Every structure is written in structure tokens, then in C-alpha cells.
């Protein structure tokens, strides 16, 4: 897993020539930057799978290298969006690395870009992604865990089933449909292990 300096270097090295077309691939971009394997199929399922103790809601507590989730539950994008926080400017605005702003490029934009231009509200920042605690300066380096394992896939399927049941009870059908789509994707992936 890359540390914060490694993440920043990865974005700089790949900003105009990413290793794949980043359009619509925000979760993949964030995973590649951190060198974390796949687990959840979309930003929205990765967001809702993030343990509460790894969520950061206060802008003042967001640090460079954290990831951030954004979503508009009423738009046509059922996948949500995830970015990497790069830095805070002198006027306290957050800069984020993101995709889908310029064709086939990764760019730095202010965090208010997503609510302002896409209508996607900030959900929270996180210190965890796909079952991995992220590495930060002055913190013990977490031991990376393999993410592409049968056990992790089964865990992700159970997470999504629990999230679907919870949000169905709350009547959040848009989210239920998005999570069901991700669940079907994981069930198809599970067939690769059989």
C-alpha cells in the first residue's frame, strides 16, 4: 500500500497518462493510487461499507491522503463518487484529485466542485478503503491485507446484503437498487472462485 507521499507521486506521474481510461472509474483510480485491490464494485457501496470509526465528517479533521465520498441521491448516477484529498489551501479549501472532469486525465479540483457542478454533496472522508486502513504519517503503518480473496468477497457480499436490508427498511429505493446492482456484480465475481 502506498503512503500519502506515494499517493501524491502516483497522481502526479499519472495525471495526463493514467494506466487506464479513468472516466467513470473513480473507485478504481483511488484504489490504484493507494495500491489497494478490488473489493466493492462502486464508490457508493464502498462508502456505505466504510466502518463508522474510519469516517471523518468534520472538514477541519480531513488530512492529505484521505479519501472522500460524494453523492446526490436524486441524480442519474447511482454509483456515487470518490476522490483523494491532496491538500488544504491557505484559505482552508480542500483540493482533491479526481477523474471525469477532463477526458482521460486526473486533475486537481476544489472539493466544492462536486456539489457546485455535479450536485453531489459531501458524505464524509475516510481513513479506510476496501477493508484496508490507510497509511498516514505519524501513525503505525497498517499491515496490508489481500483484497482479492474468497473470504473478502464473501464478506463484501454479506455487507451488501445487510446494507440492502437496512436501506430497504428506510425506504431508500435508489440506494437499494444501486447496492443490488453491486451485489449482482460480486455474485458474478464469486463464480470465478468456484
Q: Is 147 part of a structural domain of the chain?
A: no
Alpha carbons 169 and 83: distance in angstroms, whole number: 29
CATH assignment at residue 80 = 3.90.1720
Q: What is the pLDDT of residues 136-167, one digit of tens each?
A: 876 655 565 555 677 777 888 888 898 889 88
Specify if 49 maps to a domain: yes
Instruction: Specify the range with the lowest mean pLDDT, choosing from 1-10, 93-102, 139-148.
Output: 139-148
Task: Look at residue 148 in the predicted model and tell me its pLDDT.
Answer: 60
Q: Within a domain: residue 158?
A: no
Domains: count for the chain: 1
Residue 11 is inside which H or E element, if any? helix 4-14
Say if 28 falls within a structural domain.
yes
For residues 88-99, give the mean pLDDT. 88
Please, what is the average pLDDT of the chain? 89
The grid coordinates of residue 108 equal 486537481
Q: Is the pTM of this model over 0.75?
A: yes
Amino acid at each position: 500500500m502506498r503512503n500519502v507521499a506515494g499517493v501524491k507521486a502516483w497522481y502526479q506521474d499519472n495525471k495526463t497518462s493514467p494506466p487506464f481510461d479513468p472516466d467513470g472509474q473513480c473507485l478504481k483510480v483511488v484504489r490504484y493510487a493507494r495500491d489497494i485491490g478490488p473489493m466493492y464494485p462502486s464508490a457508493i457501496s464502498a462508502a456505505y461499507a466504510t466502518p463508522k470509526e474510519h469516517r471523518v465528517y468534520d472538514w477541519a479533521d480531513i488530512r492529505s491522503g484521505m479519501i472522500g465520498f460524494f453523492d446526490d441521491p436524486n441524480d442519474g448516477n447511482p454509483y456515487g463518487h470518490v476522490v483523494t484529498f491532496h491538500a488544504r489551501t491557505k484559505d482552508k479549501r480542500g483540493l482533491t484529485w479526481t477523474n471525469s472532469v477532463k477526458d482521460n486525465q486526473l486533475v486537481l479540483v476544489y472539493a466544492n466542485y462536486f456539489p457546485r457542478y455535479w450536485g453531489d454533496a459531501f458524505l464524509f472522508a475516510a481513513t479506510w478503503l476496501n477493508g484496508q486502513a490507510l497509511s498516514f504519517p505519524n501513525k503505525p503503518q497498517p499491515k496490508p491485507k489481500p483484497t482479492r480473496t474468497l473470504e473478502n468477497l464473501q464478506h463484501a457480499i454479506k455487507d451488501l446484503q445487510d446494507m440492502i436490508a437496512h436501506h430497504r427498511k428506510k425506504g431508500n429505493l435508489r440506494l437499494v437498487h444501486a447496492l443490488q446492482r453491486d451485489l449482482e456484480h460480486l455474485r458474478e465475481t464469486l463464480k470465478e472462485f468456484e
